Each structure stands twice: as C-alpha cells, then as structure tokens.
Amino acid sequence: MDDLLNEFLTETSESLSVIDLELVKFEQNPNDGEILQNIFRLVHTIKGTCGFLGLPRLESVAHAGENVLGKFRDGELEVTPDAVTLILRSIDTIKGLLSDLEETGKEPAGNDKELIAALNAMAEGKLVALGPAAPKAAPKAAPKAAPAPAPAPSPASGGAPVNEFGAPVAADLLAEVEAAMAAGKRAATDAEIAAEAAAEVATEEAPAPVSAAAAADDDADEAGVALAPVPAAKLPAARSEGGKAASEPKESSVAAQSIRVNVELLENLMTLVSELVLTRNQLLQMVRGHDDSEFTVPLQRLSHITTDLQEGVMKTRMQPIGNAWAKLPRIVRDLSLETGKKIELQMLGAETELDRQVLELIKDPLTHMVRNSADHGLETPDLREAAGKTKVGTITLNAYHEGGHIIIEIKDDGRGLNLDRIKKKAIENKLATAAELEGMADQQIYQFIFKAGFSTAEKVTSVSGRGVGMDVVRTNIEKIGGTIELKSVPSKGSTFTIKIPLTLAIVSALIVECGKERFAIPQISVLELVRASAESENAIEMINESPVLRLRNRLLPLVHLRDLLKLSRVDDSSDDELFIVVAQVGTYSFGIIVDRVFDTEEIVVKPVAPILRDIPFYSGNTILGDGSVIMILDPNGIVSATGQGMGGASETAAVEAMSHDEEKTTLLIFRAGGEELKAVPLALVARLEEIEMATVESSRGQFVVQYRGHLMPLVPFNPGHKWRTEGRQPILVFTEGERSMGLVVEEIVDIVEDRLKIELSSDQAGLIGSAIINSKATDVIDAGHYLTQAFADWFGSAHQKESFDGPSGNRTRVLLVDDSPFFRNLLTPLLSVAGYSVTSVESADDALKLREQGYEFDAIVSDIEMPGMNGFEFAANVRGDSRWGKLPMVALSSHATEKDFERGRAVGFNDYVAKFDRDALVSTLSQTLSLARHAQ
C-alpha cells in the first residue's frame, strides 16, 4: 500500500478508538455539547477522507452515522441507548471494512444497505420511541406461530412497522400494526408485545429487506408518525463483505506501527538533544590538541551517536511542505473568479520535508506571494492571447533540498515586473533619485518592491495595493535565517526564490573574533574566507570613502565588524593583515572584516534576550564548547542596517571591473599517488573532510561511509591506494543534489587563485592535462572521471565516456551559459584543455548583458533548462540580433531526443549535445566551428 493509504489507516484507526470512548461518555452525559462536537468532527473527517480516496462503501456508512449525530447536535433527536448502540454498530462496521482494506489493499465488495437504512430511519425520527428490550412473549406452539390478536385496522393510520433493521414488515401484518398504533387505548405493554410479534413474523416470513429502505422512508413520510420501538438486542450487527456478520474487528497493524506524540514533548526532546550537543562540544574542546588522550576514541563514538540522535529527533519534527500549500488551490480558484483570469496552479515537490516550526512561519509569506503572482503578475486572457500566450496563466510552486537547505520557487509566466512603474514609485517614495536609478541594473531596481510601503498597484483591491506585503514577506523569511531572491523578465514572468534552513534549532556556524569578543555567523550565509594584506593580491581599496576588496577582479563591499558593533580596539590588533568573511544575502555579496577566524561548529540557537531585540545585527545567541555565551550575527540585519544590498556605487563598480578575458579560477591543490601536485576547481568541491577509517564500511565491493544521512562512496585518486583500518583520511567531497562522493587523497596542500590555462594535454584517465599554477607545474584532474566511478549516472546517463580529446591549438573564445555552478566549473577546465578560452555566466540575461557591453566570442555553448529565459528563448534572441547573430551555437541538455534536436535547430542552434557526453561536446564544438569557418 502506498504511503497515503497507510496514513489514512493509521489516522482513521486512532479516530475510531476515540469515537468509541467518547460515545460512551456522551451516552452518560447527553447534554455535553463539547463531547458531541468532537465525535461529529471525527466522523465527518472519516467520511470526507473516504470520499477523497474513492472508498464509497466506507463513505456511505460514515455519512449515515454522521446524519444521526447531526440530529443529536441540532436537538432534533433524543439520545437513547438504542441510538448510541446503532452508531456503535456503524463504527464496528467501519473497523471491519478497514481491516479488509488493509489486508487486500482495496475496499471489500458488497454493501451495507440494512445498516444504512436503520441509521437513516433513526435520523428521520422514525425510531424516536426506542427503548430497552421488551419482555419475552409466551412460548409459541410452532416455529411459525401467529402474532397476538390485534384490533381491526384503522383507515386513519398509515405508519409502516419495521423489522429489526428498521425496514418494513410483511404486508399481511401491516393492517394489524396500523390498528394497534391508531387505537391509542392499548396499554404500553400491549403495544410492545405487538411490535415484537410483528418483528418475529417479519423475520420468519418476509423476504430479506435488501432494497426496502426506500419503501420504508416513503411510507413513513406519508404517515408522519413514529414507528414501534426496536429492542436494542435486535439492532444490526457489524457486517463484513457480502453482509455476513463479522467477528470483533482486529486492530489495524498499520496503525500499531506509529503513534502520535504531543508537539510539546518533541520540543522538550529537541531541547535535551540541543543540550547534549553543547555537552559534546565541550568535551571535544577539552581533548582538542591532545591526540594521545584516552578519551579521544570514546568521545568520537559519542560524537557520532549524538549526531545520529540529533538527526533522528530532527526527522520527528519534519513535515512535508505540501501541508503549507494545502489552502493555496482554493485561494487561486477564488482569485481566478475575482480577477477574471484563468489560472493554473502547479505544485512540485510537495513531499519535500522541513522543520514544523519553519513550516508554520512560511505559510503566510507563501500565501501572500501566490496572491501577488495572481493579481500583479498574470494577465487577463485577452491580454495573454494578444501577447501570443495561452489564455491560461500558470503559477508554479517548486520545493527541493539543496545543500542542507530548502529552496522554494514561486514562478509565474505573466507580464513580469513593471520597471518604469517601480522607478516612478521609488522616486516618489524618495528611495532613490533618477540619476541613481540610471546607474542601476534592472534586477537591482526590482529589489525596491521589498521596501516598506512600496506598491505598484494602480488601485487598491481586496487582493493588493495597500503597500503592505513584500516587505513583511522578506522580514518574516529573514527572521528564520532565510533569504529571498527575485528575478523578472519583461513579458516572460517573475521568479521568487526562497532559501531557508531545514531547522531553526541546531545550525552550522563559523566562529570568528573581533575586539576580543567571539561571534557566530550562520554557515548558510558564508561563501568563503579571505586573508587580506598589503603584500597579497587581495588588497583593500577605497571607493567613495568606502572600503572594498578586489577579489577575482571583482570589487566586494566591506563592513568592519569592530566599527559596526562599536567595539574597542585591542592593543595587539592590526590592520596589516585582516580576515574577511565573504557573506551573501540573496543576490548581494559583501565582506565582514574580523580579527580572527576559528572553526565551524554545530551550535544550538537560543532566542535573543528582549533587551537586545531592537539591535538588528543579532539573530540569537549560543553556548560554545568552553561554556562561553556568544551572539549569533544576522547578515540580513547587517545589510539592512548599513544600507547596502540595493546596488550602490561599489557594486556597480564591481560589475564594471570584471574582466572576462583574464578570469581567474580558485583551485584546490593536493597530493595523491605521488609527490606531483594535483589541482581541481575549488567550486566543484563541497567540503574538505577527514574521516575516521574505523567508520568506513564495504558495500557491493565498494568502500562507503555514512555521511549526512546517506551512504557516500569513497573513490581513491590513486588506483593502488592501500586502505587503512584506523586513523584519519583526508577526502574531497563532491556533491550534486542529495548525492555525494568522497575522493580519497593523501594531502591537501593549498588553495590558490590563478588563471587556468592547460599547457600540456594528458592521455591518462582522470587527468585533463598540466598547467602552471602558482608558478608550479600542476596536473589538473578530470573530476567527472571519478564522479562516474561512484555513480555511473551522475551526469544523467549510465553510459559515460572517459577519454578526452587533446587541445585544438587555437585559443578560440567560447561563452558558456549554464545556471548550475557545478557544471560551469566542471566544463570550464575541460574546454580549456581543448584549447578554448572560456567565459562562463549563470543565465541568459547575464550573457545578453555581455553583448550589450560589447564583448565578442567565437562560439556559444548554452544549457537549455534554465530559470528565467531558457536556452531556446536565448538562441532566438541571439539569432535576432546582428551582433552575435552568426555565432556558432551548441545546445546542452540532459534530454537529448530527436525531438529535442529538431526544436534546437529550429530556434538557431547549430547542434545539440547530451549534457553528460563530455567527448561529444568537444568534438561537436570543434566540428561546428570548422563548418562555420568554411561557410565564411
């Protein structure tokens, strides 16, 4: 059975157990409306869920029981033991059907007409005179004894007597019962003896009342009188398939596999785990630097157990993000009618899980953004049709895991943000001058919509236009340590990308020091660390009296933590050598200058004290391993407080200072399989780790280690590597999505920045060639070779090619467009070794900006599946402009069917290559350039 059915069985079984108990209480306290409301709600939920899952038999029984409970609630029906017993019978029937459903995976055949007829009759008030079982009549002389004499029928009566199931009795007894009810002079005991006699004869002589429910209803309605009482002992029993009496329904085994736990209990357990993490950190701090300590090994074991326990408790708090999306289809439907638009809502990745606390905090921001997309973003059907679009606009929600965080995308295919209107509103609100706006990029101007009181709506509606919204959205997301990024393309639509942590309780943080005070910076915001000095290439410069760092030919705005927090200067502190933490908030990057950098730690986040809540620089505090209490810095608050992030002069200068022709690459230098230096682009490496060899396991002939909840294959760089059974082993961790691979090396030497130019190619598998890096001959490795040893389908196909062509000899200029940093960093050295000078950008918009700035290239290699403008649209744009209109273009895609090829060629691509086929890319690019030269 699928997960949905399992969850239904578990929840329904729990609800039925509660109903059993509550019904007994309600029978004893019939005036307790709270108990009745709880019973009604549970039965109503069961009915609705059965209908949703397509279980009509279960739904019918639950619906009939709900009708009776509704009459109780409205005061139209008296609560009697017979009525309660009848409802309990329906509960037993549901239990039996659930048991069959669990065993077979489908609802059992058959029906429950007799039980439903009895419940319906009860709900219509036809059994209001139900009472306790009547005394037995005198012994009968024969099995088919005649009923007790009764007066002659009265024409005034019209009530239809019922049998034990509430259905009409045989026709020949009708007159007798009618007469008994119409006379009104018989004693109560005589009436009960008559009803029992009628029921007995009906049981013996009348046909089975399979389809008699409707007749009973009709006859009773015409007469308008109550029926004779039915003894409780004669009420219908729970039925299984085919209507046969069922034994006591057994408890669902699926329900027995899970329990419901109070959220407060989970919160307390999380707090205890947090304290355990702090204690673990303290113990590790005590033995750090003492390699010969007898506590080292047991503490490492304790550390692993603590990590596993932490992850286990985290999982108990996780819920699918689909829970936060549940009300959005209804909202979109209502907005569609209100605005006169045709809107389709697509929800992808609803099963993606995140912390319950985070889930609650993002519900309202998500709702607001979807409403904005429907009201502001999407056009009316006539405008969409005039623009060459389909009449139905689409809003897409997509959620997925990436690097320990949750990424949520809200995308629409509407008109995009109105740039001119935003500029006008920014000037009106005195957020920027016209001259300042002229110096900003479009994406920077779009960020004004996050300012308080900013709205571009032409009129105030019930949906939007009050100037309250996106600023609150951004604030709420930043409160939980998240970021929001906006991209908009005119006439194509807008995309909001939210990045939030999986949990708020325990996070990874970088510990730094400034003015003898230590602080924690959440790892989610840290890009890299840089050491700046007068002698190094990374020098601090001044632009408009503001410090900036020239980093890889880009100017990075700087904030000095000492000045920001007004910390006193320490005597031994010096500005000759500074440490800079490069942080990112949304699309904005900046540097935080600190005195010292320590290590990363898993910290327990404690809320900020009320007295400090007005200080925007802090998001909480924590306790370190040595017992010190330190503050957690909030990069979002730092950016807001310093007025940065809106595209100031330094950021504009940074864009202008970038030189694509002399682009440098940060490389990780290591040794493996000899003394020769090896290099790999640092951007490809997710983490540098040292693993305990005692934790390494073997699976299917491959060495693996448990890493962040998954099995990570270990691949040695040196094929002759000798595996140890103890000690620590350095590895390079490569990660894409949820998969990771560890490349086993011998020594990590350095991280350097240099221009990557392959001087000599290599025929050795796993090597691209040799280059001069940091003035030393260094072998550049082919990371893809080792990735496919761990996962054959790493690049989307199990059929990888491992050889690579040598350089073509000419430094042909190639523009590489791909939104994945991983593939950009993987393909750049591969194309470089083939003799190409590569410039890489992350989007089609960035590529077109280079065209506007006058850059020239000899060929373009572009990904197809990209956010914003996709590869097909990019190719059409390139071909429609004379500046790059004749450049050879090669498409890259993970989908490489003949249909894809035809579409690619139709929009202007010269050829189409599967993304995983590295050999084909180089050979195709070479052939495409050759054909283009001959054509000239």
The position carrying tokens 């602080």 is 519
pLDDT, greater one: 367 or 653: 367
pLDDT beyond 50 at 24: yes
Residues in a beta bridge with 412: 395, 494
pLDDT beyond 50 at 160: no
Q: Which of 79-88, 181-190, 551-560 has the lowest mean pLDDT?
A: 181-190
Confidence class of residue 146 from pLDDT cuts 50, 70 and 90? very low
Confidence class of residue 644 from pLDDT cuts 50, 70 and 90? low
pLDDT beyond 60 at 167: no
pLDDT beyond 80 at 393: yes
pLDDT, greater one: 173 or 863: 863
pLDDT, greater one: 374 or 758: 374
* Cα gap 389→380, rounded to integer Å: 11
The 8-class DSSP code of residue 693 comes to: G
pLDDT beyond 60 at 814: yes
pLDDT beyond 80 at 368: yes
Task: Give the dihedral sign, CA 189/190/191/195.
Answer: positive
pLDDT beyond 70 at 889: yes
* pLDDT mean over 257-273: 75
* pLDDT mean over 273-301: 80
pLDDT beyond 60 at 19: yes
Among residues 580, 558, 563, the alpha carbon closest in space to that of 639 is found at 558
Residue 392 has a pLDDT of 92
If one counts every other C-beta atom within 10 angstroms of the C-beta of residue 336, the result is 18
* pLDDT mean over 222-237: 39
pLDDT beyond 80 at 647: no
- Give every strand in the sheet of 392-402, ordered side by side: 342-348, 392-402, 405-412, 493-501, 483-489
* Secondary structure, 3-state, 101-117: HHHHCCCCCCCCHHHHH
pLDDT beyond 70 at 157: no
* pLDDT mean over 205-219: 37
Task: Spell 553-586 as b/e; 16+ CB within 10 A means b.
Answer: ebbbbbbbbbebbebeeeeebeeeebbbbbbbbb
pLDDT beyond 80 at 347: yes
Residue 442 has a pLDDT of 81
* Cα gap 90→83, rounded to integer Å: 11
CA distances from 286 to 102, 142, 290, 404, 624 (A): 54, 95, 8, 29, 12
CA within 13 Å, CB half, 430: 0
pLDDT tens digits along 306-327 = 888 877 887 777 888 888 887 8
pLDDT, greater one: 627 or 222: 627
- What is the rounded average pLDDT for all residues in the chain? 74
* Cα gap 500→365, rounded to integer Å: 12
**Range ranked top by mean pLDDT from 139-153, 191-205, 265-279, 640-654:** 265-279
* Cα gap 780→64, rounded to integer Å: 74
Tokens of 336: 């569609």
Residue 396 has a pLDDT of 93
Q: Kindly report the backbone phi and psi dihedral angles of residue 197, in degrees, each rounded to the nearest multiple of 5, phi listed first.
A: -60, -40
Using DSSP's 3-state secondary structure scheme, residue 245 falls into strand
pLDDT beyond 80 at 243: no
pLDDT, greater one: 394 or 724: 394
* Cα gap 817→866, rounded to integer Å: 9
Confidence class of residue 800 from pLDDT cuts 50, 70 and 90? very low
* pLDDT mean over 201-224: 37
How wide is the angle at C-alpha 774 spanned by C-alphas 773 and 778, nearest 5°? 35
pLDDT, greater one: 463 or 703: 703
Q: Which of 532-536, 875-879, 883-887 has the lowest mean pLDDT?
A: 532-536
Using DSSP's 3-state secondary structure scheme, residue 156 falls into coil
* Cα gap 65→60, rounded to integer Å: 9
* Cα gap 442→868, rounded to integer Å: 14
pLDDT beyond 80 at 138: no
Residue 151 has a pLDDT of 40
pLDDT tens digits along 894-920 = 666 677 778 888 888 988 887 767 667
Segment 897-904 long-range contacts (CB within 8 Å, at least 24 positions apart): 900/864, 903/872, 904/864, 904/871, 904/872, 904/875
pLDDT beyond 90 at 606: no
Residue 254 has a pLDDT of 59
Residue 663 has a pLDDT of 54
Confidence class of residue 888 from pLDDT cuts 50, 70 and 90? very high
* Cα gap 816→831, rounded to integer Å: 10
Confidence class of residue 759 from pLDDT cuts 50, 70 and 90? low
CA distances from 724 to 71, 171, 295, 674, 696 (A): 75, 92, 22, 18, 10
User: What does DSSP say about strands 405-412 and 493-501: parallel, antiparallel, or unpaired?
Assistant: antiparallel
* Secondary structure, 3-state, 175-190: HHHHHHHHHCCCCHHH
The 8-class DSSP code of residue 382 comes to: H
Contacts of 886 (CB under 8 A, 6+ apart): 932
How wide is the angle at C-alpha 745 spanned by C-alphas 740 and 749, nearest 5°? 115
Confidence class of residue 936 from pLDDT cuts 50, 70 and 90? low
* pLDDT mean over 66-86: 85
Cα 278 to the center of its chain, rounded Å: 29
Contacts of 739 (CB under 8 A, 6+ apart): 710, 791, 794
Residue 744 has a pLDDT of 92
